[in-house]
Amino acid sequence: MVLQQRLSLKLAQRLVMTPSLQQAIKLLQMTRLELQGVLNQEMVENPMLEDGGEEEDTEEAEADSPEAEPSMDDIDLDAYFNDYLGSESTAPNTFEAREAVPFENRISREPDLYDHLLWQLRLSDAKPPLRDIAELVIGNLDADGFLRASIEEIQLLGAQPAEVERYQAEVAIAREMAEAFSPSHEGNGNLIAGRGDEGTERSFEPVPVPGYPVEYVDRALGLVRSLDPPGIAWHTLQECLLAQLEAQDESGSLAWRIVEECWQLLTRRQFRQIARRLRTPLPALEAPVEAIRALETRPGRLFSHEHTEYVEPDVVAVKTGGEWAIQLNDDGLPKLRISRAYRTMLQRMQREEGEAEAREFLKDKMRSAMWLMKSLDQRQRTIYKVAESILRQQRGFFDHGIDELRPMVLRDVADDIGMHESTVSRVVSNKYIHTPRGLYPMKFFFHSGIDCDRGGEISSLTVKRKLRHLIGDEDGRRPLSDSALTRQLQREGINIARRTVAKYRDELGIPSSNDRKQIF
């Protein structure tokens, strides 16, 4: 068989993701904030694009008139700048000329946990290197006030990079030796011990940790843990709660013993077992358990200042004259248009010879601008169609509220507007719709359905809402089990299985009936 090379032509159809098509898809799934940033960036990079607001239209219309457009040859620039520089500026540009802002009206940044602890540390009499190590400890606290770095890691912060690498290599070698002598050995930090092949005990000296001495780190930890708020700089929640009880002079009390000796039972709310282990009557646990509940599980939370992020809707559902309508929210988005000045320049270059490179540059920017404007218009049209379909299919929700929310999936909207499900998924992702009943993500209206005895289906969101109400109205001493909740929903005509009730309860973040049971 002889191998030969030859050329052949054939016709085939296939979908090619061109850069322009990729841009259109990205625009479709962008949020309003992302879209605004992209459009502003495009106006900076593409001279053919400009914001065509109404005010700019008026200004350019006035500037296009012959009376309002003086020639540059008619302007005496020297005289103009001399007059400008020689005249006294009407805008106050000195501190004395500006109106002084009252000190109490100035906005300052609220101190966070790091600032609060550092301020207390600087007021203490701690000296270097103790104060330096304490600052490192504070810097390794998370927003809740827990210490996420180990003692060894804090020690290594005072070592040189070469010392750290050498230490890590020595620890790795020591662990390999320990595993060779005792395969079942589990290394713990830098303490290595093993047993020989003949059963003789083989002990290995711990690898010394470079950097800060462990005694200094322990003292620095004690210093930070003595600061306000109580319970900070501990590794576990149990240590945090014990520190808060000690700060309240509750060391050795029944509440302290519950946390110290019965922590696992406490986390599982097994109060009868706690009473048996501590040899105390069950009613005597009520007061200490309430004292434990009053402790702060996240001591750094008092200093976390979370800023509220406001969401702007992409579409607005309004009702006028008894009819619902969808309006696109274009506020804050630039109204793109082709720059008249550069369009005129491109037309002039096409009539004249020369400047081929500049002409091709402007033509390329013109094509890019036209495609962006087309993609943006298509994005708005698609969002409008999807929102209008949601409005038609969820008319009961808009008229009567969440109890009338009907089951709906992406395919329902896709079939209604003649688009693919993936397109609908991109549209509803991170998009919001404003209704008289509040602001909702567009994904809110898509839920699976559950069969009802009266015919049709009921939205899973409505079932979860009923489930939450049933659990909220139950007797705390006799909470409803999943089976009891299932029977109650079935009596209301909802054909639902117990495992589905358990699934919805978990999704709502509601514990089981055993964990909800109130002993006291």
Q: Using one digit for the tens of pLDDT, what is the confidence trace for 417-437?
A: 999 999 999 999 989 999 988
User: What backbone phi and psi angles, to 5 degrees, belong to 355?
Assistant: 55, 45
Is 385 in contact with 423 (CB distance < 8 Å)? no
DSSP helix/strand/coil, 201: strand
DSSP helix/strand/coil, 173: helix
DSSP helix/strand/coil, 59: helix
Where would I find the H helices in 182-303? 214-225, 237-247, 254-261, 263-267, 271-278, 286-293
**Rounded Cα gap, residues 136 and 110, in angstroms:** 22
Closest CA to 504 of 479, 454, 470, 453: 470
Closest CA to 432 of 377, 399, 387, 375: 387
pLDDT at 425: 92
pLDDT at 57: 52
pLDDT at 458: 83
pLDDT at 401: 86
Tokens encoding 209: 């940790």
Contacts of 81 (CB under 8 A, 6+ apart): none
Tell how strand 432-435 and strand 193-195 pair up: unpaired
**Which residue reads 């457009």 in tokens?**
69
The overall longest dimension of the chain from CA atoms, in Å, is 107
Annotated domain spans of the chain = 236-303, 315-445, 449-516
**C-alpha count within 13 angstroms, C-beta hemisphere, residue 287:** 6
pLDDT at 199: 44
Q: How many angstroms separate the Cα of 486 from the Cα of each of 129, 467, 481?
A: 63, 9, 9
pLDDT at 405: 87
pLDDT at 249: 92
What DSSP state is assigned to residue 481? P
pLDDT at 91: 40
pLDDT at 59: 53
pLDDT at 90: 42
**Rounded Cα gap, residues 253 and 260, in angstroms:** 10
- Other beta carbons within 10 Å of 191: 13
Residue 364 sits at the vertex; the CA angle it makes with 359 and 366, to the nearest 5 degrees, is: 95
Closest CA to 229 of 144, 133, 140, 292: 144
pLDDT at 33: 86
Is 125 in contact with 223 (CB distance < 8 Å)? no
The predicted-structure confidence for 308-344, as pLDDT tens digits, reads as follows: 667 889 999 999 888 899 999 988 888 888 888 888 8
Sign of the alpha-carbon dihedral angle for 345, 351, 355, 357: positive
Tokens encoding 327: 């309006």
Range 449-516: architecture per CATH: Orthogonal Bundle (1.10)
DSSP helix/strand/coil, 317: strand
Contacts of 25 (CB under 8 A, 6+ apart): 426
Please state the pTM of the whole predicted model.
Answer: 0.61
Say how far residue 125 (Cα) sits from the centre of its chain.
40
- Other beta carbons within 10 Å of 394: 20
* Beta-bridge mates of residue 447: 408
* Beta-bridge mates of residue 433: 315, 440
User: What backbone phi and psi angles, to 5 degrees, belong to 203?
Assistant: -110, 140
* Positions in the chain short of pLDDT 70: 1-2, 15-17, 53-109, 181-205, 305-309, 455, 520
Q: How far apart are the first and last CA of the chain?
A: 91
Contacts of 373 (CB under 8 A, 6+ apart): 336, 337
Tell how strand 336-338 and strand 438-441 pair up: unpaired
Tokens encoding 457: 């289906």
Residue type, 254: L
> Radius of gyration of the chain from Cα atoms?
35
